[in-house]
Amino acid sequence: MTFYRLSLFLFGIFSVWHVSAASRAGDRLLLPETSISASLRQTPMPELGDGRLARILSRYYQEALGGPDNWNSISSFKMSGTIRFKEDDFSLNALQRKPNLIKMTLRHDRRDLVLAYDGTNAWKHAPRSEKAATLMGEDEARRFILSAQFGNYLLFPYAEGKDIVYIDTVPIEGKICHQIRVTLDSGFQLDYYIDIRTFLEIKVENKDLHNNTTNSILYSDYTREHDVAIARRIESFENGQPVSTILLEDIKINAGVIPWMFTMPR
């Protein structure tokens, strides 16, 4: 099992054509009449005004994440379950803390693998081996850091280095979904498919514009914790081929996750 495959599901826990329709009024967010302040750029769920995209995002924030006050009251996630690959099953324990700290521990046959990002460095470690923890390589780190965002990239819509546009309304997995595209200056393009009825994520397609690879993630079996909708079944695909399935069994919010837990061992 390669780290590249691991990175596919990491993004799942915690997408290319240019469509002329995206230039229609309402398919992009209207910018404030004054310049965007630093405070607005750092607001996860700002007031977005009028327009189709603004209305969709506002409903998503409320229906899927419980709204601004609820989201602001959440600082961390702690999750455990199983990840199934074609070859083997692994136990999975994951920690996330705002704004972008993540740590995942996989265990199989008395072997552990820890993957983490401390806000500065992405690192990995096999605790039962005699080898020291090491920094991830540039490509590994770039993909892993993408997964570290607390929540997803529909939050902070006015953040620098991000463009959000409404693409279309399309059928996905037997549901009708809004397709919203987020393009990041880090070279990733993410297409979110949001159910028009429930406003939950059904699918995310992630395209790496640096190497033209695409992976996709399907979300199902939702539960609610602290009024946040969390998928307990997460299926990952690479170029259309199945890679892994995560089954979450235990989910805790604000469970005492603190920054030192993400520090790279020395």
Q: With contact defined as beta carbons under 8 Å apart, do 76 and 96 qualify?
A: yes
C-alpha of 107 from chain center: 22
Residue 132: left (phi > 0), alpha (psi -120 to 50), or beta?
Answer: beta
Cα separation, 49 vs 158, in Å, equals 13
| 77 domain-assigned | yes
| 7 domain-assigned | yes
Split into its structural domains, the chain has a count of 1
| 226 domain-assigned | yes
DSSP single-letter state for residue 97 = E
| 20 domain-assigned | no
* Tokens 């939050």, located at residue: 155
| 222 domain-assigned | yes
| Selection from 235, 238, 237 nearest residue 246 by Cα | 235
Which CATH number characterizes residue 217's domain?
Answer: 2.50.20.10
Domain with 162, as residue range(s), is: 3-14+30-262
Gyration radius (Cα) of the chain, Å? 18
Residues 6+ apart with CB under 8 A from 261: 95, 97, 103
Per-residue pLDDT tens digits of the chain, which is 266 residues long: 444 445 555 555 443 333 344 446 569 887 766 678 889 999 999 999 889 999 999 999 999 999 999 999 999 999 999 999 988 999 999 999 999 999 999 999 888 999 999 999 999 999 888 889 999 999 999 999 999 999 999 999 999 999 999 999 999 999 999 999 999 999 999 999 999 999 999 999 999 999 999 999 999 999 999 999 999 999 999 988 999 999 999 999 999 999 999 999 98
Using a cut of 0.85, tell me whether the model's pTM lies above it: yes
| 24 domain-assigned | no
For residue 67, count other CB atoms closer than 10 A to its CB: 14
| 79 domain-assigned | yes
Cα separation, 218 vs 203, in Å, equals 5
| 110 domain-assigned | yes
Q: Is 28 helix (H, G, I), strand (E, B) or coil?
A: strand
